[in-house]
Amino acid sequence: TPPPTTPPPTTPPPTGEPGTCAATYRTINTWPGGFQGEVTVANNTATTLNGWTVGLTLASGQAISSLWSGINTGTTGSVTVRNAAYNGNLAANASTTFGFTATGDGATAPGNITCTSP
């Protein structure tokens, strides 16, 4: 049989674009009227990130009571969390976490989670 005229597709290696990060949420604990959440911020690139910002949307009735390892703007609805002074620089393929406690039903995870880096 003749060889194929087009080479088989290959998966390109990661490009390591600066300024990209990923954020993943998980619920740590729930109790009547509240919950504890944690967000992992990962640098999946080949370069160091110099600062990060996570956006997330809390469900109706949820409100952040306290937050650590980050600086939040807003406590209900659309919330923005930026790095603290000590965890903003993420080496290639490194990650960090921030956590929070909130009032409201913890059965609904925050939505619209985004991560950006300058």
pLDDT of residue 100: 99
pLDDT of residue 12: 35
Per-residue pLDDT, averaged over 66-90, amounts to 98
The CATH number of whichever domain residue 87 belongs to comes to 2.60.40.290
Nearest one of 47, 30, 28, 26 to 90, comparing CA atoms:
47
Domain count, the chain: 1
11 assigned to some structural domain:
no
pLDDT tens-digit readout, 39-66:
999 999 999 999 999 999 999 999 999 9
pTM above 0.85, yes or no: no
Which domain range does residue 53 map to?
Answer: 22-116
Query: What are the tokens at 97?
Result: 């976490």
- 72: exposed, middle or buried (Cβ count in 10 Å: 0-12, 13-18, 19+): middle
9 assigned to some structural domain:
no
